[in-house]
Amino acid sequence: MERVRPKLAVWKFASCDGCQLSLLDCEDELLEIAGEIEIAHFLEATRASVEGPYDLSLVEGSVTTAHDAERIRDVRRQSRFLMTIGACATAGGIQALRNFADVREYTAIVYARPDYIQTLATSTAIADHVKVDFELRGCPINTRQLVEVISAFLAGRKPQTPPHSVCIECKIAGNLCVMVGHGTPCLGPVTHAGCGALCPSYNRGCYGCYGPMETPNAPSLSAWLSKLGMDYDALKRVYRTFNANADAFRKESERHDQ
């Protein structure tokens, strides 16, 4: 007897597609996922699309146009469980740098006919528009974590994606702390775990790809980073990457922006 498999939809908003690709990158598990879930709507993988409603929607990308702001409400209506994946969807992504500038200036630089461009002044997280049931952080998301959250969804259990600092992963991995040992600036103490402390494992400081951890204390870290030689402007920029619009990072960069 064929089991009724939950229906999965994957949606794209303003993004680079990297997070959706993570799903296709789950090579070993992809067939298994397809065995457990009906992939009903996933344009990156197939043009064939099954109509909603969907049991699980994975949403990639941020809201940057009025049209997207409408479309996400439609996605929400069709989705029983809506999960955002990646920094664009959870924080607005790198494109949220426009939030700190004049988007018309940007379009004037990039496009020959900026008047053809219809875009909002801001790039915002999906959760700023609709209720989100679960956020999976990262730029891009980690395939191991993606398989974990899908497995957890299927089993009806809590996914193991702890919101503590990257430092805990770093210590569990047995890394040398690059900040203490080498004097390399690192955002690990204020950054949400999930990558397995990838950069510190290769002797680089954390770039904050997973956004703020549960209780970030960025001002204290900034004070230390400046002792390590980071100047005021660098401190502004270090928080302005993929998660620039995440609350704690936005506030900290604005504090260094006169």
Q: Are 234 and 222 in contact (CB under 8 A)?
A: no
Q: Does 221 bind other proteins (CB under 8 A)?
A: yes
Task: Check the CA dihedral 246-250-253-255 and report its sign.
Answer: negative
Q: Does 214 bind other proteins (CB under 8 A)?
A: yes
Distances (CA, A) of 169 to 137, 149, 180, 199, 247: 15, 18, 16, 11, 23
- When the beta carbons of 116 and 156 are compared against other proteins, the nearer one is 156
Q: Does 198 bind other proteins (CB under 8 A)?
A: no
Give the binding site for ligand SF4 (CB under 6 A). 166-167, 170, 175, 177-179, 186, 188-189, 197, 200, 206
| Token pair in block for residue 96 | 């949220």
Per the rule left: phi > 0, alpha: psi between -120 and 50, beta: everything else, 86 is left
Q: Does 174 bind other proteins (CB under 8 A)?
A: yes
Q: Does 65 bind other proteins (CB under 8 A)?
A: no
Out of 105, 181, 232, 254, name the contact with other proteins by CB under 8 A: 181
Q: How far is the CB of 200 from ligand SF4 (least distance, A)?
A: 4
Among residue numbers 141 through 160, which ones bind other proteins (CB under 8 A)? 147-148, 150-152, 154-155, 157, 160
Q: How many residues bind other proteins (CB under 8 A)?
A: 45
- When the beta carbons of 130 and 186 are compared against ligand SF4, the nearer one is 186
163/183 Cα distance (integer angstroms):
25
Q: Does 121 bind other proteins (CB under 8 A)?
A: no
Q: Which of 32, 37, 29 is nearest to 4 (CA)?
A: 37
Q: Does 188 bind other proteins (CB under 8 A)?
A: yes
231/238 Cα distance (integer angstroms):
10
- When the beta carbons of 160 and 215 are compared against ligand SF4, the nearer one is 215
- When the beta carbons of 40 and 167 are compared against other proteins, the nearer one is 167
Q: Kindly report the CA angle at 150 between 145 and 156, in degrees rounded to 5?
A: 120
CB neighbours of 227 closer than 8 A, spacing ≥ 6? none
3-state SS, residue 158: coil
Give the footprint of other proteins on this chain (CB under 8 A). Answer: 29, 32-33, 35-36, 147-148, 150-152, 154-155, 157, 160, 162-165, 167-168, 171-174, 176-177, 179-183, 186, 188-190, 203, 214-217, 219-221, 223-224
